[in-house]
Structure 1
Amino acid sequence: MKKLIMPLLLLLLLLSLTACGNNKEEATDTKVENETVETTGTITYQSENGPVEVPANPKRVVVLSTYAGNVLSLDVPLVGVDAWSKMNPRYELEGVEEVTDENLEKIIELEPDLIIGLSTLKNVDKLEELAPVVTFTYGKLDYLTQHLEIAKLLNKEKEAQSWIDDFKKRAQESGEEIKAKIGEDATVSVIENFNKELYVFGDNWARGTEILYQEMKLNMPEKVKETALEPGYYTLSLEVLPEFAGDYLIVSKAEETETSFMESETYKNIPAVKKNQVFVANSKEFYFNDPITLEYQLEFFRDSFLGN
């Protein structure tokens, strides 16, 4: 009997070890397969130009215009950005290359897995050979919906919606505080000097206009409303600037920009200037309307109007 039992026990032990080995191997295969799916999986994004298959978890994004701050705010890695984004001191872009839609060789070297830009992008066909390309028409969507769309593209919609809800609440509350201090009827203008031209802005052309007019509901001077509200901005001469100046004036300018207009008698005689109701912002920090920029703009307006 003992002679029969021992071989039987050995057989059972051998089968048990084999089964354990198979289970371990199967678990390993499953783990590897899941990692592969997580790394190389894709989602289909419904872009303006139709469906585009993009990485579910992009790791090497190139932004060729405007939207670098949106991508950064969602903690998605950037490897290349446009010149305007690169000069923004609010963006942390150390090690990120400056690129253009015409510098294809440099983009190839960056090995992007996703390329984002405006609908005016050049060489789209060639760029699509390097990575999926998604473009947006500037101003087609309101500024917060635009961020949400970029978040959908990057598979980060939940995070974006949470930030949007919180930001709107804080911006609107700040608007109520500001109106209580400066008066319900007070007007605000946003101007910028660029390439020796003066511009005044409507309510959707960055420079903090979305916050001031859309969220805070501050008043736009009638002249600005007539000329800049629909197109987004309006070019004007120094001589007529007083007609566009509100009770409060936001001046967006860079250090190297020509600002001699601020030394003119015409400018100095504007009531907002005389009353010291002018707030000067660094244009390089004010050009965009992504979450990083918007958070800074909101802080700037609170400090400027409320002193906190």
Structure 2
Amino acid sequence: MYTGSDLGDLLALGVKPAGAALGVIAKQVAYPDLLTGIEDIGDVEANLEKVISLEPDLILMDSGGTYYKESDYDALKKIAPTVTYDRLPTFKRLLVMGDILGKKQEAEKWINDFKGKVTGLKGKIGVKDGETASVFIRLGKEFYVMGNSGFATILYDTLGYTPTPKVKQTLIDKNLRFNDVSNEVLPEFAGDYLFILMDDNEAARAAADSFTQELVFKSIKAVANKHAFYIPTKWNFDDPVTKERLLDELPKLMK
């Protein structure tokens, strides 16, 4: 049984849990094809009966999740042995999962294979030393700037782009995953390459199209250089499955 938002951690190790908290992520992830056969346990606190009915041998609980409390842990451990884990960077988190599930070799193999694929991707994209990149995410009418989390980890940790000084000082150094900023100051956060995460629906596209006509957007250097790319929000996860699939998609998305 798995309660976190990084279900791809388990799937990358060849483990499909009997149940997972799919209510939030099922329509957002880049791997809906892998969710078949996994029961949605919803909000754990409200669906303990569902958890009990699945008779889990082990429950994995994301202690970094914003919607889980100590009382949830106390309730879950009465059903089955419950192990909590911290919200770590992808590789470290995968190794922890490998230790917990007896899949350490699988975790190490995935990491080594992934690093090999990254070398080829850098060549395709042509990342140069010192080039900066930024990630904006549009939620409704508001823009947020991403720190080193989700999709941004591929840019900074994997491909070697450098965060802009404003992103580093305002978000990364303060360990902020994202922060909302007014449209007027967005150019201050934008790097040589700009990636804009947005939902793939008509309302989101209309909002994006409207913003592209504003002078503040046109003043961004990456926009003028045609280095601004729209990315579906399904790629804003840092689990192994999403990362691996993103390696194949990123060259296409950057066209």
Specify the TM-score bucket, using the shorter chain as the normaliser. Answer: 0.7 to 0.9
What TM-score does the superposition give when structure 1 sets the normalisation length? Answer: 0.70
Report 1 or 2 for greater relative contact order, CA contacts < 8 Å, sequence distance ≥ 6.
2
Q: Indicate yes or no: 2:220 matched with 1:278.
A: no
Secondary structure of 2:163's aligned partner: coil
| Cα displacement (A) at 1:223 | 1.0
Candidates 35, 45, 52, aligned match of 1:93: 35
Q: Indicate yes or no: 2:231 matched with 1:292.
A: no
Give 1:150's aligned amino acid: M
Identity of counterpart residues, as a percentage? 33
Question: Which consecutive aligned stretches of 4+ in structure 1 deviate over 4 angstroms post-superposition?
Answer: 256-259
Give 1:81's aligned amino acid: A
**Pair 222,262 (structure 1): closer, same or farther in 2 beyond 3 Å:** farther
- Once structures 1 and 2 are overlaid, which stretch shifts more, 235-244 or 76-85? 76-85
Q: Is the 8 A contact 1:66 1:117 kept in 2?
A: no
Q: Indicate yes or no: 2:132 matched with 1:187.
A: yes
Aligned length, in residue pairs: 238
Alignment of 1:254-273 (within 5 A): 254-256=199-201, 258=204, 260=207, 262-264=209-211, 265=214, 266-273=216-223
What TM-score does the superposition give when structure 2 sets the normalisation length? Answer: 0.84
Q: Is the 8 A contact 1:238 1:261 kept in 2?
A: no
Give 1:107's aligned amino acid: V
> How far apart, CA to CA, are the structure 2 residues paired with 1:68 and 1:130?
21
> How far apart, CA to CA, are the structure 2 residues paired with 1:165 and 1:159?
10
Give 2:249's aligned amino acid: F
Compare CA radii of gyration and give the structure with the larger one. 1
Secondary structure of 1:292's aligned partner: helix
Alignment of 1:110-259 (within 5 A): 110-119=54-63, 120=65, 121-122=68-69, 123-138=72-87, 141-175=88-122, 178=125, 181=126, 183-203=128-148, 205-207=149-151, 209-230=152-173, 231=175, 232-256=177-201, 258=204
Q: Is the 8 A contact 2:16 2:38 kept in 1?
A: no
Give 1:197's aligned amino acid: E
Give 1:94's aligned amino acid: T
Q: Is the 8 A contact 2:90 2:240 kept in 1?
A: no
| Structural RMSD (CA) | 2.2
Cα deviation per residue 1:102-160 (whole Å; 9 max; x = unaligned)? 1211211222222122214231111111112112222xx32201111111111111011
Q: Is the 8 A contact 2:30 2:235 kept in 1?
A: no
